[in-house]
Structure 1
Amino acid sequence: MKVVKFGGSSLASGVQFNKVANIILSDSERKIVVVSAPGKRYSDDIKTTDLLITLAQAIIEDGDGKKALEAVLQRFADIVSDLTLDNTLLTNIDQELGKLMSQYKNDAPRLMDALMASGENQNAKLMAAYLSKRGKEATYVSPEEAGLLVTDDPGNARILPEAYEKLRKLKQKSGILVIPGFFGVSKQGHIVTFPRGGSDITGSIVAAGAEAEVYENFTDVDSVYSVNPQLVNSPKEMKEITYREMRELAYSGFSVFHDEALQPVVTKKIPVCVKNTNHPEAEGTRIVAERSQNGCPVVGIASDKGFLSINITKYLMNKEVGFGRHLLEILEDECISFEHTPSGIDNISIILRDHQLRNGKEERILERIRTELKVEDVQVERDLAMVMVVGEGMCRTVGIASKATEALAEAGVNIKMINQGSSEVSMMFGVDAKHADLAVQSLYYKYFTPVNHI
């Protein structure tokens, strides 16, 4: 049995719906289908989720979301019309959105979650209806019915352990099951969304819970590439990659797979196959527990922007017991997580996502660091990008780090910091955000062009 997830671009229109249905019906093992909300039909189009966010904001700000609601309904109306489905489906969507707007109009976080989740929820109903029209037994299964129990933290749902036992029962149901991605239901009965891009998380959770043989993730590319194809011509395709490698690349900016989506399938060691809805016969990329190295220690290079560094200096910091604990407590008190902590004997840097230091948090943190830790200097360095070189084989290959520093030097990219975990699956380089793309390009050509191949 396979669990198969389709992204927003795969379900953006009636034409795409038909492609997806053909893929599902071409393999009888594709029993459980997880769907995203309709994505962009063309480059300047607006994703349905963004239309729903606009709707929620309109209600929160002035209580009138009529125009925004019309835009949402039109997206679904186009799909219903293209597929010649029953118009009662559209009437039901209108009624259900109205019910949610009325129920949560005085609770902004709940309203936002409920409306954002509606894109996936209503799309799942349309897909079940279309598969039924094609003559197959297909059923819409709500997250509540499926057993997707999550924490009650709006916009940041986490699956509860007891959900997996409920999800296991999905195998006993007949026909094709269509489940909306992106959200679950709390024990309090609220709709709660996973972080943005969370349909990947749903698919992975369902695959693990239902104990699928394979989790297929359909998107709009033939495979996962070793680098962003917008930066390099004809980048290398990765036919096989490990869970750890994919996790590192997803964290570093790869948009193909959400960075939180792998953990459920990793635990159950369920292989993941990333495939293209528009070219389903392509082999795709398999994500597995272990792979053969094939002489290439580096599999991918990625970068992500939006970081800053809090740089702290204090003489004999390394001798001061409890310094690191106290520093992290200051961050914890402000509910801030950190990404990396490169350090020396008299200095330490805390790398954070810059959006975390808003609403006065930066001033409070810096003041506490100065007064409570009695440091000699503390500064914030902004507009940083993290560039990641990833590969399970790096720890067994001499010269990987020297090639990276050589490539960046040749490109004129200044390295702000270097960090490597004990597992040596990845090397991280901090650079100015304006040089991130150049850094990725220089590293890619150093590792992947034949003349430089290790």
Structure 2
Amino acid sequence: MKVVKFGGSSLASATQLQKVLNIVKSDKERRFVVVSAPGKRDGSDMKVTDALIRYYRDYLAGNDLAPHQQWIIQRYSDIVTELGLKASVLERISKNILSLASLPIDDNEFLYDSFLAAGEDNNARLIAAFFSQNGLPARYIHPKEAGLLVSSEPGNARILPSSYDKIEELNNSEEVLVIPGFFGVTRDGQICTFSRGGSDITGSIIAAGVKADIYENFTDVDGIFAAHPGIVHKPHSISELTYREMRELAYAGFTVLHDEALLPAYRGKIPLVIKNTNNPDHPGTRIVHQHSSEHLPVVGIAGDAGFVSINMSKYLMNREIGFGRKVLQILEELNIGWEHMPTGIDDLSIILRERELTPIKEEEILRQLLQKAEVDHAEIEHDLSIIMIVGEKMKSRIGVTATATKALSENKINIQMMSQGSSEVSIMFVVNKEQEKAAIRALYRAFFEPKTEK
């Protein structure tokens, strides 16, 4: 039994939806279909979700809403017309889009979520009708009916553990169930979305709830590559990853899969497969708990910009009981989250996302480090990138770090910091942002390109 999720690019047009129908029809085990909102048809197009955001903003501002409403409805109308669906399908979608402008604004913390969720919700209705009209018994099911109860955290909903018993009951359906992704319903009946990209999360939750054998995530690429194709020309394709490896790569910039989506499937011990809607016969990338065969020590290299480092030094820091607590308490009181903490005997650095800081917070951090933690020196370094080399086999292979540092050195890339966790699944290098791409290319050549004899 399979749960299948299709991303926005897979659902952008009637042509793409015909591919989706063929994929679902080709395997009777594909019984649950989770869908995103329609994505871009071409580079100049707009995603339906982005159009809904504009609609929401002008609704709050009291501006003319007709252009937004007409564009969104026309977007669905084009698909309905090309697929030859019944007029009643579009009538219901139109009514739903227009009704958003009647939702209360004041004291409505779920208003934005209600607007955003309309993209997925209406697309699921359309796709269920398309399936049924083409000989595939299918039924649209709202997340409330499906049992997707979530916490009351607008824009950051979390599934409630009690939901899984209700979701398991979906197994009793003999039809293909089409479920809108990206949102659930609170106990009070409010629409509440997962974080952006959250249709992946919905698919993972459904897969865990129905105890699927496989969760297939269809997108517009042939699985996952060992490095970003925009940085490395035709990078090596990864056939298999472990969940821990995927988590590290997703954190460090791999955007094929929403990283939060891994958790429900991981806990449910369900293999996840990334596949291509436009090339469904390609095996894609399989994400599992343990590798099924021998693999390279490094499976992937990822990089991400937008980091800063708070650097501090204090003589005999290592002998001062409670020093780390004092530093972290300063960040906690300023509501700042951190990512990594490389240390030395008398030095400590805290790496965090640039978005966590403001000029005022920076000044306050430095002031409190000097006054409360009594450091000898403190500074904040900007424009940093992290590069991760990832692979569970690294821990049993001697020389991985040496190979990496040699490659960076030979390409004149300065390593600001490096760190390896106790699990030894990844090694992190911090470099200046302008050297990020060069660092990824150098590491890729070192680990994936065959050495030629001179």
Short-chain TM bin: over 0.9
**By how many angstroms is 1:195 displaced?**
1.2
Question: Any conservation in 2 of the 1:104–1:110 contact (CA below 8 Å)?
Answer: no
Question: Any conservation in 1 of the 2:309–2:350 contact (CA below 8 Å)?
Answer: yes
DSSP-derived class of the 1:99 partner:
helix
**By how many angstroms is 1:378 displaced?**
2.1
C-alpha offsets along residues 113-160 of structure 1, whole Å, 9 cap, x if unaligned?
111111111111111010011122211111111111111111111111
Q: Does 1:423 align with 2:451?
A: no
**More deviation in 79-88 or 178-187?**
79-88
Question: Any conservation in 2 of the 1:89–1:126 contact (CA below 8 Å)?
Answer: yes
**By how many angstroms is 1:293 displaced?**
5.5
Aligned position for 2:98: 98
Q: Does 1:225 align with 2:225?
A: yes
**By how many angstroms is 1:233 displaced?**
2.1
Structure 2 distance, partners of 1:250, 1:448, is 20
Structure 1 distance, partners of 2:321, 2:136, is 66
C-alpha offsets along residues 32-84 of structure 1, whole Å, 9 cap, x if unaligned?
00001111111222211111111112222344433222222222122112112
Aligned position for 1:407: 407
What amino acid sits opposite 1:18 in the alignment? Q
Aligned position for 1:254: 254
Structure 2 distance, partners of 1:167, 1:80, is 30
Q: Does 1:334 align with 2:334?
A: yes
**By how many angstroms is 1:271 displaced?**
0.6
What amino acid sits opposite 2:103 in the alignment? Q
DSSP-derived class of the 1:5 partner:
strand
DSSP-derived class of the 1:451 partner:
coil
Structure 2 distance, partners of 1:315, 1:336, is 26
**By how many angstroms is 1:256 displaced?**
1.1
Question: Any conservation in 2 of the 1:275–1:284 contact (CA below 8 Å)?
Answer: yes
Structure 2 distance, partners of 1:58, 1:356, is 28
Aligned position for 2:11: 11
Aligned position for 1:395: 395
TM (norm. structure 2) is: 0.96
Matched ranges for 1:359-374 at <5 A:
360-374=360-374
- The 1:46/1:2 distance shift into structure 2, 3 A limit, reads same
Question: Any conservation in 1 of the 2:69–2:98 contact (CA below 8 Å)?
Answer: no
- The 1:188/1:75 distance shift into structure 2, 3 A limit, reads same
Q: CA RMSD in A?
A: 1.8
Question: Any conservation in 1 of the 2:38–2:123 contact (CA below 8 Å)?
Answer: yes
Question: Any conservation in 1 of the 2:305–2:383 contact (CA below 8 Å)?
Answer: yes
Structure 2 distance, partners of 1:448, 1:58, is 50
Aligned position for 2:440: 440
- The 1:69/1:318 distance shift into structure 2, 3 A limit, reads farther
- The 1:56/1:384 distance shift into structure 2, 3 A limit, reads same
**By how many angstroms is 1:252 displaced?**
0.9
- The 1:138/1:432 distance shift into structure 2, 3 A limit, reads same
Structure 2 distance, partners of 1:93, 1:250, is 34
- The 1:27/1:379 distance shift into structure 2, 3 A limit, reads same
DSSP-derived class of the 2:301 partner:
strand
What amino acid sits opposite 1:442 in the alignment? A
**More deviation in 55-64 or 342-351?**
55-64
**By how many angstroms is 1:344 displaced?**
1.2
**By how many angstroms is 1:452 displaced?**
7.9
C-alpha offsets along residues 376-399 of structure 1, whole Å, 9 cap, x if unaligned?
222211111111100000011111
Aligned position for 1:376: 376
**By how many angstroms is 1:360 displaced?**
4.2
**By how many angstroms is 1:292 displaced?**
4.4
Q: Does 1:47 align with 2:58?
A: no
Aligned position for 1:209: 209
**More deviation in 272-281 or 79-88?**
79-88
Structure 2 distance, partners of 1:310, 1:80, is 54
- The 1:431/1:146 distance shift into structure 2, 3 A limit, reads same
Aligned position for 1:140: 140
Question: Any conservation in 1 of the 2:306–2:353 contact (CA below 8 Å)?
Answer: yes
Matched ranges for 1:68-79 at <5 A:
68-79=68-79
- The 1:335/1:160 distance shift into structure 2, 3 A limit, reads farther
DSSP-derived class of the 2:302 partner:
strand
What amino acid sits opposite 1:146 in the alignment? A
DSSP-derived class of the 1:167 partner:
helix
Structure 2 distance, partners of 1:334, 1:69, is 41
**By how many angstroms is 1:450 displaced?**
1.2
Aligned position for 1:171: 171
- The 1:340/1:175 distance shift into structure 2, 3 A limit, reads same
- The 1:50/1:448 distance shift into structure 2, 3 A limit, reads same
**By how many angstroms is 1:442 displaced?**
0.8
What amino acid sits opposite 2:129 in the alignment? A
Structure 1 distance, partners of 2:107, 2:251, is 32
Q: Does 1:314 align with 2:314?
A: yes
What amino acid sits opposite 2:328 in the alignment? L
What amino acid sits opposite 2:86 in the alignment? D
Matched ranges for 1:293-308 at <5 A:
294=294, 296-308=296-308
**By how many angstroms is 1:111 displaced?**
2.0
Aligned position for 2:154: 154
Question: Any conservation in 2 of the 1:446–1:452 contact (CA below 8 Å)?
Answer: no
**By how many angstroms is 1:319 displaced?**
1.8
Question: Any conservation in 2 of the 1:309–1:380 contact (CA below 8 Å)?
Answer: yes
Q: Percent identity?
A: 51
Matched ranges for 1:279-298 at <5 A:
279-292=279-292, 294=294, 296-298=296-298
Aligned position for 1:451: 451
Structure 2 distance, partners of 1:74, 1:243, is 40
**More deviation in 91-100 or 408-417?**
91-100
DSSP-derived class of the 1:386 partner:
strand
Aligned position for 2:356: 356
What amino acid sits opposite 2:331 in the alignment? L
Question: Any conservation in 2 of the 1:416–1:430 contact (CA below 8 Å)?
Answer: yes
TM (norm. structure 1) is: 0.96
DSSP-derived class of the 1:50 partner:
helix
- The 1:107/1:226 distance shift into structure 2, 3 A limit, reads farther
What amino acid sits opposite 2:113 in the alignment? D
Aligned position for 2:58: 58
**More deviation in 57-66 or 376-385?**
57-66
Structure 1 distance, partners of 2:404, 2:27, is 44
**More deviation in 67-76 or 22-31?**
67-76
Aligned position for 2:278: 278
What amino acid sits opposite 2:402 in the alignment? S
**By how many angstroms is 1:109 displaced?**
4.7
What amino acid sits opposite 1:393 in the alignment? K
Matched ranges for 1:22-37 at <5 A:
22-37=22-37
